[in-house]
Every structure is written in C-alpha cells, then in structure tokens.
Amino acid sequence: MNVLLLTGAPRSSRIRDFLAARTDRLQECSLPLTLEAAREMAPDFMVIHGYGPIIKAPVVDAWAGRIINLHNTFLPWGRGLMGNVWSYFEDVPKGVSLHSVDAGVDTGDVIARRPVSLGLEETLQSSWEVLMDALERMFMEQWEGIAARRAAPTPQAMLDALGTHHDRKAGDWLLSLCPQRWQTPVAHVAALGREYREDPAAFAQRCGGERALPPLPPPTSMPQGKAGVEGEVSVRPATAEDSLINWLWVNDPVTRAMFKKNHYVGWSEHEQWYGGLLRRQDMFLYIGLAGGRRIGNVRFDRRAPGTYEISINMDPRHRGQGLGHRMLAAAIGAFRARAEVSMFFAMAKKSNPPSIKTFARLGIHVTAEASPLAVSRGFDPETEVYMERRL
C-alpha cells in the first residue's frame, strides 16, 4: 500500500505515524500537487490532513474515491474554511467527518461522520483541539475499511440537509469580530450569531458597515421538492437518532410560520430540549414512517390528567400528499394503547387549512369555546382555532 499524505501544518504527527506503520510506502507533500507529481508518486490513496492548497480537477478525476479528507465539522455543515467558528455563530451540530474529495469544496461523499459534544466553556482553540482529536481517532478507526475499500460512502445529496459553506473572506470577517483570535471564548461567537439572527441589518451596521457579511442562508435548509412514498404509514417512538431530523423539521420555514414561536431554533437549544423530551413522562413523540422513510412527527403533551395537546409536523418533502392524517391516525392509535386519554386538543393558525382538516379527519374538530387549558397556553382567538375531541 502506497499512501500520499498531503499535509501542511498538522496538529501532531499522529496520522503520519499511524499511516507509516500501516503502509509499505508513505510519501508526504505540503506544496500544491500537480498531476505529473501525483503520477510520479503513484499512491493508492491520498490522505489530506491540515493541507491548504485545493486539489486540482485532473488529480481529483484520476484518484476519484481515493482522496480522503479529514474535515473538522459535521458535514454538510461547515464546508470551506473555519467551519468550527461558524458552527458556533450559526449554532449547528458540531462534529467531524471523513469524506472523499470531489470537484467541489468539501462536497464529496461522506465516509464517516460523528457528532462531538462541545459546550460553551471552550475557546476557539480548545474546541478545535477537541475536534481534531476526535477526527484523528475516527480516521484511525476507519482506515482499515477505507484501505480495503469496504467503506460505503454516502453522497451528500442523500443527507437530509443542504448544509453550509463559508469562504475565506467570510471567515476573515467573522474572525475580525473576535479580538482574542483563537483564544476567543466560543460563547462570544455564539452571542454574535444570536445578535445577527435577531436583527441582521442592525448587526451588519454595528459590525461591518459596507464590508458587512452578505445574508447567510438558513443553516437548516432541506432539499426542495416532493418525495413520493409507498406503503403503509406507521409510527414508532422517537429515539436519540431522530434528533437531527426533528431539528431540521422544526426549522422548516412553513413550520416556523405555523407555530406560535417563529424564531430559528439553534442546535444547542434543540439538543437540550430534545434530550429532556426523551426522558420526560408527560411528553411523547412519535416518528411517522412510510416506505422506509421518516415522514414526520406527532407529539402528545399532557396538559392535565387524561388531557393531551397534539402537534403534528410533516417532513416538507412529504406534505401535500394526504399522508398527514394517516400519520396522525397511526400516532393516536399507538398513543391510546399506552395512555388513558379523556380528551385531545390542538390549536392551529386560521391560515393553516391543511392542519385544521387533518385534525378534523380524526374527529378533532373546531369548537367555539377554547378550553381554559388552551387559553393558559396562550391561545389567540384572533389568529388561531381551537380543536378538541372528547373520548
């Protein structure tokens, strides 16, 4: 096995030592790589670890699927430069990824990715060290499978989110707002992100004037378009593995518009809430399934003994196909098998006929008078309807 390690200023010699012990020949390069030089070295694989230059298209083509990049974000978030810094600004999942290199910037198929739990007590430097350590460990665990070509990479188009990308200019701009540079507490970067989201125009004025950052796309954008599914609709209780998809669903723009609170739900807020939800005995979340895909969720919140408020949210790719009421029916069936229920109620915006009709299909109808429980939950008769079903 002949491996070329493309590396500039690596954090440590860990990957070099690891590969040296497992290859017949390990070559190293820190300069821009030409096709001629690559051919001369003729590696079976190239491994990129802390290397600046972009790999040119002819090299990428000739070694397709055999150039492995160690990337310190949870793809598809944080493509490009300073992904770790952006992950705090945008409040998205932190983690590490191994991907094969294609013609784009960090857009190649994902060989492995792993979330990394990082709190707000870190600095940019310390969080980077934690991520690099996790990344190197993951590479060393995965290497045998990669070298034996057993890895089954996932195209990024198959991931549920479109992710984010930032170039050098944007990264330099963000870093200019961090006077302590790499020693900046990540909490400072997170606070900048919150300020930006609350009022992008005021933030731009305070922080950049005409050099200000162009508007950033929402970090939770999902692929557009409808996806058909076949077969029966069923539900199962939500698990920790569903956290990410639930976070994407909750931040869908239509969902945000239809719920009481319309703000972007950052990953850190979601993670805390979702972890609590899985432990709670008064909140039950079901995941709808059809044709092997997760199509949405239904939540039951106990508001009084035997009384549950229901909320429903379909994956945007599965809306408008008559699946909502089937998922709700399956969830109500599953829930009634485990809990004594005397009343279900729900609230929906008057501007949301699909929701009102979906609940009506299950006998949860609009009533003139809202229950005091709904009123205490902030029911607004101007903009919302109240629906209930007594059992």
Instruction: Using CB under 6 A, list all residues that contact ligand COA.
Output: 254-255, 258, 311-314, 319-324, 348, 352-355, 357-358, 361
Please, what is the minimum distance in Å from the beta carbon of residue 273 to ligand COA? 17
Residues composing the chain? 391
Closer to ligand COA by CB, 67 or 387: give it: 387
Closer to ligand COA by CB, 190 or 229: give it: 229
Closer to ligand COA by CB, 92 or 312: give it: 312
Closer to ligand COA by CB, 131 or 161: give it: 161
Please, what is the minimum distance in Å from the beta carbon of residue 267 to ligand COA? 20
Q: Where does residue 368 rank: exposed (0-12), middle (13-18), buried (19+ CB within 10 A)?
A: exposed
Query: What are the structure tokens assigned to 185, written together?
Result: 């507490």
Backbone φ, ψ for residue 277 (5° rounding): -55, -40
Residues 108, 64: contact at Cβ < 8 Å? no
Please, what is the minimum distance in Å from the beta carbon of residue 331 to ligand COA? 11
3-state secondary structure 178-221: CCCHHHCEHHHHHHHHHHHHHCHHHHHHHHCHHHCCCCCCCCCC
Alpha-carbon distance of 382 to 315, in angstroms, equals: 28
Please, what is the minimum distance in Å from the beta carbon of residue 306 to ligand COA? 21
Closer to ligand COA by CB, 69 or 358: give it: 358
Please, what is the minimum distance in Å from the beta carbon of residue 351 to ligand COA? 9
Please, what is the minimum distance in Å from the beta carbon of residue 368 to ligand COA? 19
Closer to ligand COA by CB, 22 or 361: give it: 361
Alpha-carbon distance of 382 to 228, in angstroms, equals: 36
Closer to ligand COA by CB, 29 or 323: give it: 323
β pairing state of 365-366 and 384-390:
antiparallel
Position of minimal CB gap to ligand COA: 324
Residues 245, 160: contact at Cβ < 8 Å? yes
Which residues touch 266 (CB under 8 Å, ≥6 apart)?
90, 91, 92, 193, 194
**With DSSP H G I counted as helix, E B as strand and the rest as coil, what are the percentages for the chain, rounded to 5?**
40, 20, 40
Please, what is the minimum distance in Å from the beta carbon of residue 318 to ligand COA? 7
Closer to ligand COA by CB, 75 or 314: give it: 314
Please, what is the minimum distance in Å from the beta carbon of residue 99 to ligand COA? 32
Q: Where does residue 240 rank: exposed (0-12), middle (13-18), buried (19+ CB within 10 A)?
A: exposed
